[in-house]
Structure 1
């Protein structure tokens, strides 16, 4: 479990817990290289939505590890976004003495700090090598956008470290961020998507901008917990673990406010593609050595959170960028954006192919 707090607009460590999921490898052979698969959820940012997906991925990774030629053991780590659990923050409020919900930038800063902390824990304890030989970041939906911003920040940290010293043994340089896997990514112009247009009305209407979360919370509070759970489970047809996660989220103290606040902030900032051009060329030297692709994108065929024209423009730019290493796939199996509800196993079977490919390089 990780710990965070915020002083003003900054994040600081404190003894408040952020829910997480871990699926470690059962193999402890010293000769094996260790690979961290670091997962960032979408919005609502609850890792409990992804328990079936990550559990299936763990089983598939076990098969990979059992191969005679396998050189790696894999550790899966996933963590809530901030603000979705009462244990990771004080109550939200609008007064000068209370905190507002967490922003997109704060989520990115926290996840990057958590990634570095998780990867370099042995160094912080006086060891000589990081915890993992390779790191793969995987994100879903806006979690994929957060991944891109985390990767960008890591790239900038490495540059800054080079500017300060010739010693590469800084914490940032010790994180071997090998590749990224982005599932149904909201890469640009979120407000142009079908669902984004609806949320944009909330963001740009003063009354709704101020009170939408309160109205939604009042409506949900009219439902007894057991009745809401039954409705989500039986009428909406959600599996048991997803229905439970959704009900807990809706009935939580601040979950609805955090989700709506973050969605509005995402609409504001996920506009033009943020990545600098040189980031797409970051692995050019590795490419010459025959390494695997650096970035893997899995888009939905019809995604209500991704405008088709924005997706297609993004794909065209990747084609034109000959030096970059990307694999782009558009779903042909009619898997929806919220794959973690009914299609966890199918997506895990697609992801394992990429992880296996990355690990072999």
Structure 2
């Protein structure tokens, strides 16, 4: 009976737009067009790959737990989605190349451009970042201090010394020196029927006993074109550019920030949690006690969303 009561409001809308000249997928729960009367928007900035479909369960839980009062949107990274048949990966190739829209800096500017065009300036933002999305959010707040950020929730934040992490040491040579070697197998995978791709993905994820099966189809999409190559290109830049923690921006916005670190996160060692907590003793830094993985969307999207609701509920009662 509960499902019958909430089904219509739990159904998201997916829009494909050009933003900064590149194909962008926007997943929306709740109101699909904002006007000046909308007080609060939840905006999800994904990790890498920046595929919004991975966050569907997480977003639906945020939307429903707040009583469907606040729209919850997620904006993909530029070029991390498969364009519809009527659209190309970019609408202006030379502009996309000049602005390096698929690179890390280009992705930051891409999110700011999205806000300028699609979100009224007076709308307050609850920004939720995951992994490199947290770095992007800090850069957004640094580059546009006028953003009306009510809260910024940083989930499993990769905001410093990425190449020095256990996973970074493995992936840096892959993403920076051997990336092109992966393009041929990616291309061959893209030729497979979607049903076979889905079967392969299920096999890879078979060790995850409580897998959220809503992530299967977005993963199929990731293997269906240039999306994975764009994600790897961005990843290579992350290894080279995410170096020192931006303490200045964190200090300026400390009262708005909530950080949630994994206890066994190979992209962000626990030592990083202790370091930042020592540097900012009055900040809101939390260490996972639930065994959630860095890629929490695979099996814990609902649980993490419920935690986020509890953390920020008081900030949305005014």
TM-score range, shorter chain: 0.7 to 0.9
CA distance in 2, matches of 1:2, 1:226: 24
Distance 1:304 1:341 in 2: 16
Report if aligned partners of 1:56, 1:348 keep a CA contact under 8 Å in 2. yes
- The partner residue of 2:252 within 248, 269, 281 is 281
Number of the residue aligned with 1:193 = 165
Matches within 5 A, 1:138-157: 138-155=128-145
1:77-114 per-position Cα deviation (integer Å, ceiling 9, x unaligned): 11111011234623999xx9994771010110010121
Are 1:354 and 2:311 counterparts? yes
Which region of structure 1 is more displaced relative to structure 2, 191-200 or 102-111?
191-200
Q: What secondary structure is seen at the aligned counterpart in 2 of 1:272?
A: coil
Q: TM-score, normalization: structure 1?
A: 0.72
Decide which structure has the larger Cα Rg and report it. Answer: 1
The two structures have a TM-score, normalised by structure 2, of: 0.81
In the aligned structure 2, how far is the partner of 1:98 from the partner of 1:346? 38
Please report how far the alpha carbon of residue 354 of structure 1 lies from its aligned counterpart in structure 2 after TM superposition: 2.2
Classify 1:265/1:274 alpha carbon distance in 2 versus 1 (closer, same or farther; 3 Å).
same
Partners in 2 of 1:230 and 1:296 — Cα distance?
Answer: 38
Instruction: Tell me the SS of whatever aligns to 2:278.
Output: helix
Secondary structure (helix, strand or coil) at the match of 2:71 reads strand
3-state DSSP of counterpart to 2:263 = coil
Distance in 1, matches of 2:115 and 2:101, equals 22
CA distance in 1, matches of 2:197, 2:56: 21
For residues 25-79 of structure 1, what are the alpha-carbon distances to aligned partners after superposition, in whole Å with 9 as ceiling and x for unaligned? 69x9x9x9721111101111110001011001111010xx7xxxxxxx4121111
The alpha-carbon distance between structure 1 residues 3 and 98, as it changes in their structure 2 partners (threshold 3 A), is: closer
Question: What is residue 179 of structure 1 aligned with on the other side?
Answer: 151
CA offsets 1:6-31 (integer angstroms, 9 cap, x no match): xxxxx35xxx75211111269x9x9x
Of the three residues 64, 80, 94, the one matched with 1:84 is: 80
State the 1:318 CA deviation. 1.6
Q: How does 1:105-144 map to 2 (within 5 A)?
A: 105-120=105-120, 130=121, 132=123, 134-144=124-134
Could you tell me how far 1:272 is from its partner in structure 2?
0.4
Q: Which residue matches 2:302?
A: 345
In 1, Cα distance between equivalents of 2:149 and 2:290: 30
CA contact 1:185–1:298 (8 Å) conserved in 2: yes
> 3-state SS of the aligned residue for 1:276?
helix
1:136 Cα deviation after fit: 1.2
Contact 1:39 / 1:79 at 8 angstroms: preserved in 2? yes
**Other structure's SS at 2:259 match:** strand
Gaps of 5+ in 1: 6-10, 66-72, 121-129, 156-172, 284-292
CA contact (8 A) 1:18 1:80 kept: yes
Distance in 1 between the 2:157 and 2:258 partners? Answer: 10
Per-residue deviation at 1:194? 2.0
State the Cα distance separating 1:117 from its structure 2 match. 2.6
Deviation at 1:355, TM superposition (A): 2.6
